[in-house]
């Protein structure tokens, strides 16, 4: 029987452990990368009108005049005149009465503006940095499954390139005002007609 010296055995064991380490690390990585799941909540809509719609995000005006932004699950359907309709197929001006739906997020809209901006860069998965006409640079969130209007045509967000011109309708919500120096907005919020894609203001950005 061949004799294996202790130092040779130690060297072989160490070699096996080192060679096996990448495999163990890879196994640990693949078993711990689970994507977080969105948490939905039930929303009951009473006598509201669709003002803005892009992808799976809609803005409604309720009977009291308040504006509500809803981020809906991709598989959500809404009953309109007794027929199921996907959120992205809704049209501005559609009236929703006694409609039950699920929402990933519900926010109060505090300001609506129309903008023209130049793309500085796209940030995966759903943000874009724009330079506006007053030379400010802001970051905006693109609704899921929404296209962006560039020079009068719709393009996918991932196809945005620096220098492209974007037209959009931008909403600010109570979340942005909570984290800024602005407080609440008094009076009714002006609601110009939707022009281009609906974007959600996410704050100032660096160039």
What pLDDT does residue 158 have? 94
Same domain, 78 and 119: no
What pLDDT does residue 187 have? 56
Same domain, 91 and 133: no
Whole-number Å distance between alpha carbons of 116 and 123: 19
Domain contains 5: no
Domain contains 16: no
Total domain count, the chain: 2
Last residue of a domain, one of 52, 86, 106: 106
pLDDT at 42 over 70: yes
pLDDT at 39 over 60: yes
DSSP per residue, 118-180: EEEEEETTTEEEEEETTS-EEEEEPPTT--EEETTEEE-GGG--TT-EEEEEEEEEHHHHHTS
pTM here is 0.74
- List, for residues 86-123, the tens digit of each pLDDT value: 888 889 999 998 888 888 888 999 999 999 999 999 99
- List, for residues 142-183, the tens digit of each pLDDT value: 999 999 989 888 899 999 999 999 999 999 998 654 333 333
Instruction: Give the residue numbers spanning the domain of 97.
Output: 41-106
pLDDT at 1 over 70: no
Same domain, 85 and 121: no
């Amino acid at each position: 029987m061949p004799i294996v010296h202790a130092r040779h055995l130690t060297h072989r064991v160490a070699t096996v452990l080192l060679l096996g380490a990448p495999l163990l690390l890879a196994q640990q990585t693949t078993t711990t990368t689970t994507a977080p799941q969105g948490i939905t909540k039930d929303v009951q809509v009473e006598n509201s009108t669709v003002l803005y719609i892009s992808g799976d995000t809609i803005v409604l005006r309720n009977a009291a005049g308040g504006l509500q932004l809803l981020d809906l699950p991709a598989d959500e359907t809404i009953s309109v005149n007794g027929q199921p309709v996907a959120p992205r197929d809704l049209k501005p001006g559609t009236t929703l009465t006694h409609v039950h739906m699920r929402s990933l997020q519900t926010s109060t809209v505090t300001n609506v503006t129309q903008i023209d901006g130049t793309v500085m860069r796209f940030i995966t998965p759903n943000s874009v940095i724009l330079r506006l006409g007053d030379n400010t640079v802001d970051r905006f969130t693109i609704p899921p499954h929404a296209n962006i209007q560039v020079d009068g045509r719709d393009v996918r967000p991932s196809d945005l390139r620096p220098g492209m011109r974007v037209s959009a309708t931008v909403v600010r919500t109570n979340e942005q005002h909570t984290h800024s120096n602005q407080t609440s907005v008094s009076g009714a919020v002006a609601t110009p007609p939707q022009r281009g894609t609906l974007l959600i203001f996410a704050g100032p950005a660096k160039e």
